[in-house]
A and B are shown apart, each in its own frame.
Chain A
């Protein structure tokens, strides 16, 4: 299964961006979603888990939500340090495999 994300989104510093993640009834529709941030040249980092929970140390500027077979990552008060690739991820109930999204590059104008 494949989770589809927009290739890129952008906004000015201080503004808000949203990143969408579209799946199906067997993945997002049946499971909790997580989000990962990958800064240039570094390993991915968990940003959101269980649809909308933030690990310790992740600022509340980052939020997650899910509705039906889609999920959304929101970033408010955009900062230059938020420029990164963002991936959604979840389990597929049919196969029990893990799937990642296609990735979205967030650019701060």
Chain B
């Protein structure tokens, strides 16, 4: 039974750094073909993929946000951490983490409930 849960601040000020933690259970990030991704959704808007980290520590970032994003994993704690620097009101969104599976294709088969982050002074 795979579960994921996001945690982090609900409110951050412009220019601050956002740190979000995804704590998961029911799978290991040591297993081949497994990853954890971060996806966000501004209010009323579409999903936007942010970053992925794989079992072999390969990392991928959205080209538009690459300079501001860092993704890391702690396999002993079953956690994945995402940091986004220089926050702006345009970064206000619900942030989701999701279990990523690499098979024939790649897809997110289990999602966390999401955490709303508001950027405001």
Residues on A facing B (Cβ under 8 Å): 31-34, 36, 38, 43-46, 49-51, 55, 87, 89-91, 95-103
Contacts and interface: CB of A to CB of B under 8 A. Distances in A.
Given A100-B49, A103-B46, A103-B47, A50 B108 contact: no
B107 A49 contact: yes
A51 B49 CA distance: 19
15 contacts: A31-B105, A33-B105, A34-B107, A43-B112, A46-B109, A46-B110, A49-B103, A49-B107, A89-B108, A91-B105, A91-B106, A97-B62, A98-B37, A98-B52, A99-B49
Nearest to B105: A32
Nearest to B49: A98
Contact of A50 (B47, B48, B104): B104
B107 A43 contact: no
Interface of B: 37, 39, 46-49, 52, 60-63, 96, 98, 101, 103-114
A44 B109 CA distance: 9
B105 A50 contact: yes
Contacts of B48: 100
